[in-house]
């Protein structure tokens, strides 16, 4: 492995064979959508180095040796996944509004930087992803004190990740 080009992730953000934690997906998509100048490539860097997943967290491990870094286009796939989960976002909105009737995030205009899209379809996907991120944060904050605490994967599983 070439020194300085890759950083082994101290957090298990991604597992082999495309298994990712929802918190990590939210973190990367939010970083991409909330920074006007951030590209997919920029979001996938940490202190200028590529992020590499490895169970062993060792510079001499097989994944690190071949430079198995997070591919920048993965951020778009994650954004598209979140943007496609409209039923989950609607259900989270409904539950939050039941608990906090004064919540007004559902009336927001979901503005995405025009530099992020060239087509109307891509704009809509990114707007839905942004909406999903805001609604998810409100959902988690609203139901943090519930017993047991609410979590998005359980809700999304019940709704078949739609």
Whether residues 64 and 101 share a domain: the answer is no
Angstrom distance (rounded) from CA 51 to CA 122? 26
Asked whether residue 64 is assigned to any structural domain, the reply reads yes
pTM for this predicted structure: 0.74
CB 88 within 8 A of CB 159: yes
Asked whether residue 1 is assigned to any structural domain, the reply reads no
Confidence bin at 8 (pLDDT 50/70/90): very low
Q: Which of 114-118, 128-132, 137-141, 146-150 has the lowest mean pLDDT?
A: 146-150
Domain count within the chain = 2
Whether residues 11 and 42 share a domain: the answer is yes
Whether residues 72 and 120 share a domain: the answer is no
Whether residues 13 and 35 share a domain: the answer is yes
Whether residues 130 and 104 share a domain: the answer is yes
| Strands 49-52 and 6-8, bridge-based pairing | parallel
Whether residues 93 and 30 share a domain: the answer is no
Whether residues 56 and 16 share a domain: the answer is yes
CB 162 within 8 A of CB 88: yes
Asked whether residue 88 is assigned to any structural domain, the reply reads yes
Confidence bin at 133 (pLDDT 50/70/90): very high
Mean pLDDT of 11-28: 64
Confidence bin at 58 (pLDDT 50/70/90): low
In b/e form, how buried is each residue of 56-83, taking b as 16+ CB within 10 angstroms?
A: eeeeebebbeeebbbebebbbebbebbb
- Of 54, 76, 98, the one marking the end of a domain is 76
Beta strands in the chain (DSSP E): 6-8, 14-15, 19-20, 45-46, 49-52
Whether residues 125 and 60 share a domain: the answer is no
Mean pLDDT of 94-108: 84
CA distances, 16 to each of 6, 7, 66, 119 (Å): 17, 17, 14, 32
Domain that holds residue 16: 6-76
Residue 76 has pLDDT above 60, yes or no: yes
Whether residues 72 and 124 share a domain: the answer is no
Whether residues 44 and 27 share a domain: the answer is yes
Whether residues 25 and 48 share a domain: the answer is yes
Q: Output the 3-class SS for 9-31.
A: CCCCCEECCCEECHHHHHHHHHH
Asked whether residue 46 is assigned to any structural domain, the reply reads yes
Residue 16 has pLDDT above 70, yes or no: no
Q: Which of 14-23, 70-79, 117-126, 137-146 has the lowest mean pLDDT?
A: 14-23
| Mean model confidence pLDDT for the chain | 76
Mean pLDDT of 76-96: 90
Whether residues 153 and 91 share a domain: the answer is yes
pLDDT of residue 132: 92
Count CB atoms within 10 A of the CB of residue 110. Answer: 17
């Amino acid at each position: 492995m070439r020194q300085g080009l890759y950083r082994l992730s101290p957090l298990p953000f991604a597992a082999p064979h495309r298994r990712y934690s929802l918190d990590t997906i939210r973190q990367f998509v939010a970083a991409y959508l909330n920074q006007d100048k951030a590209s997919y490539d920029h979001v996938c860097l940490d202190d200028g180095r590529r992020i590499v997943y490895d169970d062993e967290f060792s510079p001499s491990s097989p994944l690190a040796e071949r430079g198995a870094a997070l591919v920048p286009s993965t951020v778009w796939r994650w954004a598209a996944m979140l943007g496609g989960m409209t039923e989950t976002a609607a259900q989270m909105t409904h539950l939050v509004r039941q608990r906090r009737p004064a919540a007004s995030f559902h009336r927001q205009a979901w503005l995405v930087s025009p530099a992020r899209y060239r087509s109307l379809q891509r704009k809509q996907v990114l707007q839905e992803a942004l909406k999903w991120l805001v609604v998810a944060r409100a959902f988690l904050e609203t139901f943090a004190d519930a017993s047991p605490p609410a979590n998005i994967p359980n809700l999304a599983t019940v709704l078949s990740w739609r």
